Chain A
Amino acid sequence: MTAMLNVKDLRAYYGQVQALHGLSFSLNEGSLTTLLGANGAGKTTTLRAICNMVRSTGAIEFEGKPLSGQSTENVVRLGIAHVPQGRGTFTTMTVEENLQLGAITRNDKKGVVADIERMYEHFPVLKERHTQQAGTLSGGEQQMLAVARALMLRPRLMLLDEPSFGLAPLIVRELFNILGKINRQDKVTILVVEQNAQLALELADKAYVIETGRIVMSGSAAEIANNEDVRKSYLGY
């Protein structure tokens, strides 16, 4: 298997404060990887650094192309979809407009129309509400919309930042099922940052644990789930 995303010695800064201290990891094509860590460990920053939304140094390569120095929108255009924390919903626009925005870089009109229909199959609730302003959706529905919007890009790689945040457990499970389906059926490589470690480890095939801006552990999801320290710190048993 070839590495789709290669991150070497990534350091990121907010002003004078360094948030990442030399992170290195790689994602295999078609894999579903999770990044675990406590609050403030640098999970979100890692995702933001991949899309060049924070000042960072180090080398990031996506399918052999270096990403550093690229603007966020150009990184996205390479096929990396990022579902940000807080979902980034365009609240004043309709659900359908949000989906169209996800595909704004694509030129195949027919494909876009077909993909919107596909999203409505994945997420029937969005179809019911497609003319509603997105801001009127519930938190769970907005998260579905955010994932759907990201998929409209037809991404090769999808970055998800805390998709379970603030959602009811049942909805989280549904969402994760869909993520698994997307990963297997649509062959989208996924990197998901999660607080809900248990669920993330069930879903993922590989996991990294980061603490204070450094990777402290890596391995297959099963290995990590059985690790004593991880169980104490993140799984609570």
Chain B
Amino acid sequence: MSAVEEVTSEAPAVEAVPKRAMTLGYGTSLVVLGLLIIAPMFLKNFFVFQMTMLLIYALAVLALNILTGGSGQFSLGQSAFYAVGAYTSAILMEHMGVNYALTLPIAGIICFGFGFLFGQPALRLSGIYLALATFALAVAMPQLLKLGFFEHWTGGVQGLVVTKPDAPFGLPISQDRWLYYFTLVIAIGIYVASVNLLRSRSGRAFMAIRDNEIAASAMGVDVALYKTLAFGVSAGITGVAGGLGAIAVQFVAPDGYTITLAISLFLGMVVGGVGWLPGSIVGSAFIIFVPNIAEHISKGLSGAVFGVLLFLVIFLVPHGARQVAIVAQQLIGKLKK
């Protein structure tokens, strides 16, 4: 071992976000909520399905946001937690006949445990190394799901078909609309819980770790515990999103949960604004709709169009939707005067 050590003060993984800026004001929240409630009533079933997916991916992006924006840890492996949640729901519904709504908390708990356990070795890694480790998890997951050993439960490469639930109590709405409102209620619940979590003692501990791990531990924050907790919570929420996704798509298969999904969720977080929870839905819209738009502009060059749009976001609004929201707020403020 050489006696020489290099001292670096790294570029921050995440720029600190002022705490107040992590949420929306009440007025704006109500408008967004109103739109989310009313819009599906006037849309065709296919668009309602897309809006359901929008909410589901928003949940997954939110989960990553808690991990990265909250505690400053990278993850390129969210697709693995999403897959575990999806498979948990699918297997419980199809093999054991459990009610779809009940499978979600189970998926959440299993993923929480999985994330918490994965967080243990991840503790020793940071920055790029953690990115690589989570990346490896995401790459491995589809292969593990294909293993012959689990085939009886997972259906192997073929995957499992999931039955779409009907609206309960004989409500006169289509399956798609029912599922949308069901998802909306869960999403709002998780959003509110997440906002409160970040405002709580634990949330402050997360952010202390994000801003300066050594200082946080000097202040008495149990860094190891909170870092693994952040992984657990993030994985748990992702698992619920995965379960909802399985129900909405009516199908789970290993190749639905590749590294591409993990990268999409990551981009969703960057576009939405790291550490800004309401941005999750904007990020989710970006990863669902922009590839479609790119495809429309040019079939052969859709990847290039997507990349260029992403660069535009990075250069013009490096803080993502959060920055847009702040500018909009200032404009409205000026108009009021």
Contact = CB atoms under 8 A, between A and B. Distances in A.
Contacts of A92: 4, 6
Interface string A23-59: 0000000000000000000000000000000000000
A136 B3 CA distance: 7
Contacts of B5: 91, 135
Please tell me the size bucket of the interface on B.
under 10
Interface residues of A, number: 5
B28 interface: no
Nearest to A86: B7
A154 B4 CA distance: 29
Nearest to A136: B3
Chain A interface SS verdict (over half)? mixed
Interface string B2-31: 111110000000000000000000000000
A136 B2 CA distance: 9
B166 to A, nearest CB: 59
Nearest to A133: B4
Nearest to B6: A92
B59 to A, nearest CB: 37
Nearest to A135: B4
A133 B2 CA distance: 9
Contacts of B4: 91-92, 133, 135-136
A53 to B, nearest CB: 16
B interface, by DSSP: helix, strand, loop or mixed?
loop
Q: Which of B4, B5, B6 has the most CB of A within 10 A?
A: B4
Contacts of A133: 2-4
Contacts of A91: 4-6
Nearest to B4: A135
A135 B6 CA distance: 9
A133 B5 CA distance: 11
A91 B4 CA distance: 7
Interface string B190-224: 00000000000000000000000000000000000
A134 to B, nearest CB: 8
Contacts of B2: 133
Contacts of A135: 3-5
A91 B5 CA distance: 8
A99 B64 CA distance: 48
Nearest to B3: A136
B7 to A, nearest CB: 8
Nearest to B2: A133
Nearest to A92: B4
B96 to A, nearest CB: 59
Interface string B232-255: 000000000000000000000000
A92 B3 CA distance: 10
Interface in A123-167: 133, 135-136
Interface string B281-323: 0000000000000000000000000000000000000000000
Contacts of B3: 133, 135-136
A170 to B, nearest CB: 25
Contacts of A136: 3-4
Interface string B164-177: 00000000000000
A150 to B, nearest CB: 21
A226 B174 CA distance: 93
A92 B4 CA distance: 6
A42 B143 CA distance: 60
Given A92-B4, A133-B2, A135-B5, 10 more contacts: A91-B4, A91-B5, A91-B6, A92-B6, A133-B3, A133-B4, A135-B3, A135-B4, A136-B3, A136-B4
Interface of A: 91-92, 133, 135-136
13 contacts: A91-B4, A91-B5, A91-B6, A92-B4, A92-B6, A133-B2, A133-B3, A133-B4, A135-B3, A135-B4, A135-B5, A136-B3, A136-B4
Enumerate the 5 nearest inter-chain pairs by beta-carbon distance, A residue then B residue, closest first.
Answer: A135-B4, A133-B4, A91-B4, A136-B3, A92-B4
